[in-house]
Amino acid sequence: MAKTELPLTSGDVESEAKRHEFDVKITPKPFVSLASAAGDVCPQAAPLVPTSPLMAELDEEYATEGFKARAINALSGAVQIPTQMWDDLEPPGQDPRWEIFSDMHAYLAKTFPLVHSTLRKTEVNIYALVYHWQGTDHSLKPMLLTAHQDVVPVEPVTLDQWIQPPFSGYYDGSEWIWGRGSCDDKPGLISTMLSIEKLLEKGFRPKRSIVLAYGIDEERSGVSGASAISEFLLNTYGEDAFSIIVDEGGHYTVRGDTIMSNPAVAEKGKLNAKIELSAPGGHSSVPPRHPTIGMLARMITELEANPHTPHLNRSSTYYSQLQCQAQHDPVFSGHFKKLIKDSIASDTALAQLEEELKSTDRMFGPLAGTTQAVDIIHGGVKSNALPENAYIIVNHRIDTMSSVATVKAHVAGTIGPIAHAFNLSVDAFGEQYGDLKKGSAFGHLEMVDAYGTELEPAPVTPTFGSGPYELLAGTIISSLGTSPRSDIPKKAFLAPTLSTDTKWYWKLTKHIFRYGHVNSGDSYNGAHTVNEGESKNDQTTLLGI
């Protein structure tokens, strides 16, 4: 749980930010303060507002219909480029499906000419992009803003289910920008590019250097993109060379008359467990009692019947998020708020809180524990031939308080006894399970890391009292508190949460924030599914409008 401390004053924030090499100036602007009392477990940052006259000029220009149309059109054009990412791609340069990223590069160069004529651009592993905008003070650590160019594929069988074609980038003229990538993550890519393009148009030059990094295969864990970007950045800048990293992740949510902003500061681990069964085949007219697919089906049933059990842990980021909500969230009932506060010192209250969350909040399991989902099943090539081989892939997102080894042990302990009952030998992630040996059993079951991408939970980013966090928090509070959007409240609080997918950047800084500054209610149907669509309000909010 976050430490209890006195709330930071404006002077404290400025001093703390400078200690972390942040040049921050604080100017009061109209907003609703949620400043905390002494003993607060969730202190809120003071709003941070640039003092430059340029800010007022930008605010005025951003509010024009012409600029809003520019932002919408920029996103629409990016969505029209189908930068789909498949798990089976060969490395860049060896598979023609990568070539679509050249079209994206050409589009970015045409749409943002000043970015491409002013910033130093590096193409990493052919298609990943890194841009360096040199600041005036070489002694300050640069900041890193990241996004990704790729999107998940569109299944052809779903094409007739889309309201608008998935790569049309269609804007309906009033609300929605349609298409794959309109939510994930082309708004992050386009908003950072457009923001810097506009600053360059105004002749602005930052004091602190800014680095942009755009991956190419985030949707398959960044094995070709973010990994190569990380290597380039480490070789160019060194370890712990960046003051702050902001990547995609958390968002903000309207909670009654208040906005809750959730920058992610922790990251779950991951394991894609491939469970592969080999056994004798033959003609399907004379099947064994349990063919390979039948045995795998029984194992899936056992996994489903024995999920990883989520638990509240006072040391977890999720528990800290609950404490923040208990203090600032008007939607939480008085009973719930009291229970959360009491749980700090009472084990009885903690257990009661856990039970109530299990029964009332479908997000309790994903936030408080390890999840498992069978995402791929494969076996058989002919309807009258028994398959000698079949496999499943089970995706696990590992709780921040757990580990890869714990998950592997759970999978082996759940499936192993079933395999032995079918007279199968078992190799559980490189270790023999039980006494049955391969060759003497009816068949063999092997459990492995499917793609070599297993990942331990990430180090937790410092929050309350940390200069980089206070900079981000103060900027979010100021942005939301002064937004001209009439459909959202003007008071806001931050509740740090957890997310995924920044593993390649862990060595670059301790201060990694996964945050998109978009309203969770402004997507039409979410990401990774049919009818992905993003509200025009979110595209403009990302630009601070």
Domain ranges across the chain: 53-248+501-541, 269-309+369-449
Q: Is residue 304 marked as binding?
A: no
pTM of the shown model: 0.84
Instruction: Return the structure tokens found at 277.
Output: 């069964």
Which among 14, 16, 150, 248 is annotated as catalytic? 150
Alpha-carbon distance of 461 to 466, in angstroms, equals 9
> Cis ω on the peptide bond leading into residue 375 (within 30° of 0)?
no
Give the confidence band of 539 by pLDDT, cuts at 50, 70, 90: low
Q: What is the β-pairing status of strands 389-398 and 269-278?
A: antiparallel
pLDDT at 485 (0 to 100): 83
Buried b (16+ CB within 10 A) or exposed e, 285-311: eeebebbbbebbeebbeebeeeebebe
pLDDT at 26 over 60: no
53-248+501-541: CATH architecture: 3-Layer(aba) Sandwich (3.40)
pLDDT at 400 (0 to 100): 95
Q: Is residue 247 marked as binding?
A: yes
pLDDT at 499 (0 to 100): 84
pLDDT at 538 (0 to 100): 61
Considering the chain, what percentage of its residues have pLDDT values greater than 70? 91
Q: Is residue 87 marked as binding?
A: no
Which among 40, 197, 218, 538 is annotated as catalytic? 218
pLDDT at 34 over 60: no
Task: Find the mean pLDDT for residues 110-125.
Answer: 98
Least confident of 16-25, 45-54, 56-65, 138-147: 16-25
Task: Find the mean pLDDT for residues 528-543.
Answer: 78
Alpha-carbon distance of 28 to 337, in angstroms, equals 31
- For the structural domain made of 269-309+369-449, what CATH number should be given? 3.30.70.360
pLDDT at 20 over 70: no
pLDDT at 433 over 70: yes
Average pLDDT along the chain: 90
Residues pairing with 345 in the sheet? none
Is 269-309+369-449 the same fold as 53-248+501-541?
no
pLDDT at 187 over 90: yes
> Phi and psi at residue 497, in whole multiples of 5°?
-135, -160
pLDDT at 486 (0 to 100): 84
Sign of CA dihedral 11, 13, 16, 21: negative
14 is catalytic: no
Instruction: Return the structure tokens found at 229.
Output: 């970007």
By CB atoms closer than 10 A (0-12, 13-18, 19+), residue 209 is buried
Q: Is residue 347 marked as binding?
A: no
Q: Is residue 290 marked as binding?
A: no
325-369 pLDDT per residue, tens? 999 999 999 999 999 999 999 999 999 999 999 999 999 999 999
267-314 pLDDT per residue, tens? 999 999 999 999 999 999 999 999 999 999 999 999 999 999 999 999
pLDDT at 3 (0 to 100): 30
Residues pairing with 491 in the sheet? 32
150 is catalytic: yes
Query: 420, 422, 396: which is closest to 410 by C-alpha?
Result: 396
